[in-house]
Amino acid sequence: MKEIIDRITPEHLKPLVEKVIQHQRITTDEALTLAFEADPGLLGIMADQVRQHLNKDSLWFIRNFHIEPSNLCIHRCKFCSFRSDVTENAWELSLDEIEEIVEKAAPSEEVHITGGVHPERSFDYYEQMVKLIKRLKPDLHIKAFSAVEIDDMAQSSGITTIEVLSRLKQAGLDALPGGGAEIFNQHIRSEICPDKTDADGYLRIHAEAHNLGISSNATMLYGHKETWNDRIDHLSRVRQLQDETGGLQAFIPLKFRNKNNSMANLYEQPLVEDLRLFAVSRIFLDNVQHIKAYWPMLGKDATELLLGFGVDDIDGTINDSTKIYSLAGAEDQNPMMSLDEFIAMARRHHRKAIRRNSNYEILETYP
Ligand code: V47
């Protein structure tokens, strides 16, 4: 391996590549150097070394389903293909409908709940929803409500975000998903999602959750108006949060898809840019255990390629329960992945498929 790395590394990058291979933390400037000057093959080898160091030969997945309580939303994020005003395309699930979804769901370890920031629904509805699901399925992990949704619950009910989080935890909330991070750069943020929780608010709410014992994921929406500087700045703030709290489980780069939204004039990034971004994320975020490729958005083929660029987790079975990405133009219009598909993908990459719960505890290993 050393020989191959030596052969493909340009002389001026050798000290930096050595640093990565020896698992030393790199600076933001070094991350930029890698992004601009290392070719994708070299980035892949380095990211793979970091992945192996942190996750050995594991390829994690979960049996999960989504609940999207409503697509009505007070915000008008330009990249969103999901939100609706009150029209025939809008939906609002009642607690009875949510009960039916949970009762009918295939065997799962996790439900992922996220949706629009509804103009009228009270905090009580969300609290009751979590209590209801916990009562119906006490073992089902509830990963629910992005930091933006938590912020709105606090504002609309006149209590603090800490109070919202504590009450949801008491109701049965296990984790927060990473949605709402978009890109932290305020200049771009005010252009693409002007009126919602800013970067400081997002990071503060995640830190509050961690301090209460609620774990979370972080995301980054990439491939639109941001530069590599913005990406590394975003990664750096994620790394700092993790240094402070240790509560992040996974980092999930979310590739911008351009159908049915107000940014449809932008081209989607080519696959090689996804490879670069995932690899640099894996190398830079030395303190975040898992890098997740969210296959419903990336497609199964690209997800499989990304296994060689730092990815150790590919989310879950989904069971055709989310519309966010199919509406935005993702290939799988009815996303679902079977156990056999996970196992086969892992085997093709000499990995061990591991079925996990939301806390990355091993439930079953498929050699
Ligand atoms: O915040 C919206 C993104 C996010 C588009 O924590 C888009 O395990 C691309 O955060 N193109 C919500 N992306 C989803 C999310 C998530 C997904 C999977 C797993 C987890 C987790 C979290 O979806 C939004 C936004 O960044 N998004 N529209 C679009 N057109």
Name which residue sits closest to atom 16 of ligand 1, judged by CA. 179
Q: Is 328 in the pocket of ligand 1 (CB under 6 A)?
A: yes
d(C-alpha 282, C-alpha 275), whole Å: 11
Using alpha carbons, select from 254, 238, 283 the residue that is nearest to residue 18.
283
Return the amino acid letter for 245: T
- Using CB atoms within 10 A of its CB, is residue 338 exposed (0-12), middle (13-18) or buried (19+)? exposed
Q: Among 204-208, 273-277, 278-282, 315-319, whose mean pLDDT is lowest?
A: 315-319
The kind and range of the H/E element at 366 are: strand 362-366
Q: Six-digit token pair at 165?
A: 């989080």
| Ligand 1 centre distance from Cα of residue 329 (Å) | 13
d(C-alpha 93, C-alpha 101), whole Å: 10
Looking from the CA of residue 257, the nearest atom of ligand 1 is 11
Return the amino acid letter for 17: V
Determine contact, residues 129/168, Cβ cutoff 8 Å.
no
| Ligand 1 centre distance from Cα of residue 254 (Å) | 6
Using CA atoms, how far residue 260 sits from 78, 179, 214, 329, in Å, is: 10, 19, 34, 8
Q: Is 197 in the pocket of ligand 1 (CB under 6 A)?
A: no
Q: Is 20 in the pocket of ligand 1 (CB under 6 A)?
A: no
**What pTM value is reported for the model?**
0.97
According to the model, what pLDDT value does residue 84 have? 82
Model pLDDT for residues 169-188, shown as the tens digit of each residue = 999 999 999 999 999 999 99
| Residue 86 DSSP code | S
Q: Is 219 in the pocket of ligand 1 (CB under 6 A)?
A: yes
SS3 364: strand
| Residue 12 DSSP code | G
Read off the pLDDT band of 2 (50, 70, 90): confident
What is the residue-averaged pLDDT of the chain? 94
Model pLDDT for residues 243-291, shown as the tens digit of each residue = 999 999 999 999 999 998 999 999 999 999 999 999 999 999 999 999 9
Looking from the CA of residue 327, the nearest atom of ligand 1 is 30
Q: Is 221 in the pocket of ligand 1 (CB under 6 A)?
A: yes
Model pLDDT for residues 215-245, shown as the tens digit of each residue = 999 999 999 999 999 999 999 999 999 999 9
Q: Which fold has domain 57-366?
A: TIM Barrel (3.20.20)
d(C-alpha 185, C-alpha 363), whole Å: 39
